[in-house]
Amino acid sequence: MTERAGGRGVVAAALRLFDEKGFEATTMDDVAVAAGVSRSTLFRRFGSKDDLLFA
């Protein structure tokens, strides 16, 4: 998987969770698990939930 494709997968997982659970109820840990990446990788690529939402 390329870096770019991996980023799209993370964003897709985040958007799915935001839709299912709501933006406020979704944690970055939830996104990391759903996307299959570590928490540190998630924060390295996207500093916040807002960054994920607007990516």
Identify residue 15 by its one-letter amino acid code.
Answer: L
Task: Return d(Cα 44, Cα 38) in angstroms, integer.
Answer: 10
| Alpha-carbon span 19 to 39, nearest angstrom | 21
pLDDT tens-digit readout, 1-55: 334 446 889 999 999 999 999 999 999 999 999 999 999 999 999 999 999 999 8
Residue written as tokens 């390295």? 44
pLDDT at 2: 34
Range of the domain at 39: 3-53
Number of domains in the chain: 1
CATH code of the domain containing 15: 1.10.10.60
Side-chain-facing half-sphere of 5: CA atoms under 13 Å: 2
